[in-house]
Amino acid sequence: MYSFLGYSQRSCGEVQSQLYRALDCGYINDSEFDIVYELASECRKQIKGFRKYLRNYKKD
């Protein structure tokens, strides 16, 4: 499961990267970009925290 969380975390980064392309192509506006980028950032942080929790849990 730990490795799948890593994939998920990297997928959040890919979403953030593709948001720049969508913005540059005019598919989304600045406001939409900011909202979705922040959601992806928050998701990435939560996954990172959960992975850290699992890593520490395995040590106990």
Tens-place pLDDT, residues 23-53? 999 999 999 999 999 999 999 999 999 999 9
pLDDT in tens, 46-56: 999 999 999 89
Amino acid identity, position 36: V
Query: What is the extent of the structural domain holding 31?
Result: 2-59
What element of type H or E holds 60?
Answer: none
Number of domains in the chain: 1
Q: CA 7, CA 5: separation in Å to the nearest integer?
A: 5
Distances (CA, A) of 37 to 1, 13, 29: 25, 10, 12
- The secondary structure of 8-29, three-state, reads HHHHHHHHHHHHHHHHHHCCCC
Cα 59 to Cα 44: distance, rounded to the nearest angstrom: 23
